[in-house]
Amino acid sequence: LPSSYLRHGQLSTTLLGSFVCGLALTNQHTILILVFTSVLFVFHKDRSALLRPKRMMVLFVLFAMGMTPYCYLLLAGSEPPMGSWGMFQDVRGVVRHLLREEYGTFQLYTSGRAETPHNTTTFEMLEKRWKRNFSDFWNTLMHETEGTGAVLFVLGLIFLMRERDQNKFARGMYLIVYLGLYMLLFSSLANLPDSNFYDDILRRFWIQPKQVVFIVIAHAISTSVQRTTSSHICRVFRPIICGVIVVVQLMKNFPRRNMYNNWVV
C-alpha cells in the first residue's frame, strides 16, 4: 500500500492503508516499525494534503477501526476457554494483553536466566545483542541462499540507489529505511538468552526483514536479466529464474520446516 501511494498518490490508498495498519497491529508488535516507516514516507510525499484536520480525523477513525479485533477479547473473556492467554474480564486485562506485559512490552524475554551479567553496562548489552542478532540474521540468509544472498542484495541496493525513476527510487528507499529500522530496533530489544531453543524463537522474527531482502534480491535479478538480454528473452527467462529459485528454496528448506507430523505444534 505505501508503495502504491508513492507511485499513484491516491487518497483511497491512504484510507485503506490506515485501516490495514490498525489491523496489522493486532497481530504483532513489530508491525509498529512498518507502520512508522509507512507513515513517514506517505506524509513526506504529500503532507499538505494529509495534514488537514478532517482528513486526519478520518485516517485516525479508520486506524481505530482496524484495531477493533481487540474488542472481541472483552466478549470472549466473559467465558474464557481452557488454555486461553490472559484475563479479559475488564479493560485492564485487554491493555495488559495489548502491551504484551506477560512476556515483556517491546522485548522478548522477561524472566529466568539472565541475558547478561549484572555488572554489564547498557552499551555493552546492546553491543552484545547487535552482534548476536545481526550475525544470526546474516548466517541464516547466507544458508538459505547458498551464499549468494549477500552479493545479490548488494547488487540490488546499487540498482535501487542508481534508479532514475523517482517513484521507483522512493519505493526502494522505503524498503531500505524499513529494513534498517527493523534490524536496529529489533536487535536492540531482542533480549533472548543464548541457546538453540531461543535461537529458533528469534528466527521467527526474521520473516519481515527477509521479505525486504528478497524483494531487493529479486530486483537485482530482474534488472540484471533485463539489462543483459532483449525484452523478448527477458520475458521468457524471468519467470523461469523465479521458478528455479522457488524450487531450490523448497527443496532446501521445506524438509526441515515441515511440521505436518508434529502433533505438539
The continuous run of DSSP H or E covering 105 comes out as none
d(CA 202, CA 34): 18
In a domain, 97, yes or no: yes
d(CA 35, CA 25): 9
Residues 125 and 97 in one domain: no
pTM to 2 decimals?
Answer: 0.77
Return the C-alpha cell found at 55. Answer: 482528513
Sorted by sequence, the CB contacts under 8 Å of residue 135 that are 6+ apart come out as: none
Residues 157 and 225 in one domain: yes
Model pLDDT, residue 116: 56
In a domain, 20, yes or no: yes
d(CA 185, CA 196): 22
Q: Residue 19 in contact with residue 65, Cβ under 8 Å?
A: yes
Per-residue pLDDT of 48-58, as tens digits, reads 666 778 888 88
* DSSP one-letter string for 108-146: S--SSS-SS-TT--HHHHHHHHHHHHHHHHHHHHHHHTT
Residues 71 and 154 in one domain: no
| Dihedral Cα 247, 251, 252, 254, nearest 10 deg | 110
Residues 250 and 143 in one domain: yes
d(CA 79, CA 5): 43
Per-residue pLDDT of 15-48, as tens digits, reads 888 898 899 888 888 888 988 988 888 877 777 6
What is the number of structural domains in the chain?
Answer: 2
Model pLDDT, residue 177: 92
Sorted by sequence, the CB contacts under 8 Å of residue 100 that are 6+ apart come out as: 29, 106
Model pLDDT, residue 263: 61
Model pLDDT, residue 241: 76
Residues 162 and 66 in one domain: no
Domain that holds residue 132: 120-258
Percentage helix, strand, coil for the chain under 3-state DSSP, each rounded to 5: 70, 0, 30
Sorted by sequence, the CB contacts under 8 Å of residue 42 that are 6+ apart come out as: 2, 5, 6, 14, 17, 50
d(CA 152, CA 164): 20
Q: Residue 186 in contact with residue 34, Cβ under 8 Å?
A: no
In a domain, 111, yes or no: no
In a domain, 161, yes or no: yes
Return the C-alpha cell found at 198. Answer: 531461543
Residues 151 and 233 in one domain: yes
Residues 94 and 134 in one domain: no
The continuous run of DSSP H or E covering 148 comes out as none
Provide mean pLDDT across the span 205-223.
88
Q: Residue 47 in contact with residue 40, Cβ under 8 Å?
A: no
Residues 45 and 74 in one domain: yes
More confident residue, 178 or 97: 178
